[in-house]
C-alpha cells in the first residue's frame, strides 16, 4: 500500500460543502406560534420565524470533508481532462423537484464533449467501475481511496463562520463556511500504485510540477459565486515530481488544459 499525505487549503473567501440542516424558531413568541401551528393554524407565521442553517459536517476530530467528496472530484477531473477517458456523468442543478442542465460556468470551463465508452481506461483501472448493463464487463474495484480531510476543532474556532445566502425564489439561508486560509489534512491510499498512477492522481488534484499546484473547484456554489469553492492541494511526498514526469510522458498530449480559477 502507498500512503501519501495531503493538505487542502481554502484559497477563496469561503468553502461550503454539504452538511446538516438545522432549524430553530428564535422569535420571542416562538412557543405560541408553534402551538397554534400544531393545532392547525396558519403555517405562514411559523415559516416566517424559522431560522435555517446549513452546517458543515463535524465529528470529534473537527470539521470534516468526506473522503468520497475528494475522490469524486479527482475522478471527475481525470474524466474531463483526459481525452482518452470516458465522458463523466452529466452534472445537473436541482431547482425544486426538477433538474436543470449543467451550469453555464461548468460548460464554459470544461467544454465537455461526448466520448464513446472505453472497455478499460487508465481512470477505470484505478478508480474501478460497476458492472455494465450489457454484461460485457465485470465490476472492477477501486485501487485508491481518500481519507476524510479534517480541519481540527481548535482551527475551526478561527476559520469557521456563518454567512447568509439567498436561495432560488429569494429564500434566505445561513450557511456555515470554512474561510480563506483554513487547512484540512488527509491522505490518499493506493493498492499497487505505479509512479504513473501517482502522477495521474497528483494531476487530478491540481499538481503542475516543480511544487506548483493549480486551483481546484470544490463544494457548493463553485460555479455560481466567485467567493466560494476554490481550494489548493499540497503534499510533501518526496517522489511527486518524478511521478508527475512519468504521467506527463504518457499522457501529456492527451490532456485538455483548463484553468479552473474562473473570473
231 located within any domain: yes
Contact criterion met (CB below 8 Å) for 183 and 6 = no
pLDDT of residue 91: 47
Total domains present in the chain? 1
Is 254 or 31 the better-scoring residue by pLDDT? 254
Contact criterion met (CB below 8 Å) for 216 and 77 = yes
30 located within any domain: no
209 located within any domain: yes
User: Among residues of the chain, what percentage have pLDDT more than 70?
Assistant: 76
CA 210 – CA 238 distance, rounded (Å): 11
Q: Is the pLDDT of residue 251 over 90?
A: yes
Considering the entire predicted model, what is its pTM? Answer: 0.83
32 located within any domain: no
Find all residues with CB under 8 Å of 173, minimum gap 6, and list them: 52, 53, 54, 164, 165, 166, 167
* Three-state secondary-structure class, residue 53: strand
CA 103 – CA 100 distance, rounded (Å): 8
13-71 per-position pLDDT tens digit: 999 998 777 766 665 566 676 677 677 766 665 555 666 788 999 999 999 999 999 99
pLDDT of residue 92: 46
166 located within any domain: no
109-167 per-position pLDDT tens digit: 998 876 666 555 788 889 987 655 555 556 678 899 999 999 999 999 899 999 988 76
pLDDT of residue 88: 54
2-13 per-position pLDDT tens digit: 999 999 999 999
DSSP state of 228: B
| Structural domain for 91, as ranges | 2-13+58-154+183-254
3 φ/ψ angles, rounded to the nearest 5 degrees: -115, 125
192 located within any domain: yes
Q: Among 119-123, 158-162, 189-193, 208-212, where is mean pLDDT lowest?
A: 119-123
pLDDT of residue 151: 98
Find all residues with CB under 8 Å of 76, minimum gap 6, and list them: 88
Grid cell digits, residue 220 = 457548493
127 located within any domain: yes
CA 101 – CA 234 distance, rounded (Å): 33
33 located within any domain: no
Amino acid at each position: 500500500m502507498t500512503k501519501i499525505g495531503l493538505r487542502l487549503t481554502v484559497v477563496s473567501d469561503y468553502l461550503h460543502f454539504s452538511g446538516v440542516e438545522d432549524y430553530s424558531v428564535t422569535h420571542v413568541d416562538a412557543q405560541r406560534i408553534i402551538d397554534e401551528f400544531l393545532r392547525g393554524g396558519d403555517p405562514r407565521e411559523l415559516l416566517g420565524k424559522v431560522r435555517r442553517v446549513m452546517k458543515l459536517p463535524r465529528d470529534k476530530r473537527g470539521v470534516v470533508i468526506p473522503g468520497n467528496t475528494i475522490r469524486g472530484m479527482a475522478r471527475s477531473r481525470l474524466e474531463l481532462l483526459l481525452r482518452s477517458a470516458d465522458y463523466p456523468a452529466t452534472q445537473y442543478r436541482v431547482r425544486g423537484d426538477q433538474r436543470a442542465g449543467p451550469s453555464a460556468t461548468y460548460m464554459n470551463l470544461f467544454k465537455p464533449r461526448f466520448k464513446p465508452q472505453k472497455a478499460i481506461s487508465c481512470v477505470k483501472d484505478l478508480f474501478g467501475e460497476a458492472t455494465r448493463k450489457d454484461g460485457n464487463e465485470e465490476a472492477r474495484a477501486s485501487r485508491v481511496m481518500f481519507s476524510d480531510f479534517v480541519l481540527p476543532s481548535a482551527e475551526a474556532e478561527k476559520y469557521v463562520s456563518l454567512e447568509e445566502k439567498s436561495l432560488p425564489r429569494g429564500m434566505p439561508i445561513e450557511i456555515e463556511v470554512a474561510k480563506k486560509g483554513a487547512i484540512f489534512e488527509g491522505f490518499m491510499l493506493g493498492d499497487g500504485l505505479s509512479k504513473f498512477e501517482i502522477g495521474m492522481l497528483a494531476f487530478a488534484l491540481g499538481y503542475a510540477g516543480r511544487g506548483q499546484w493549480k486551483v481546484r473547484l470544490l463544494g457548493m456554489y463553485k460555479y455560481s459565486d466567485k467567493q466560494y469553492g476554490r481550494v489548493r492541494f499540497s503534499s510533501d511526498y518526496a517522489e511527486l515530481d518524478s511521478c508527475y514526469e512519468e504521467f506527463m510522458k504518457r499522457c501529456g498530449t492527451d490532456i485538455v488544459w483548463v484553468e479552473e480559477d474562473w473570473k
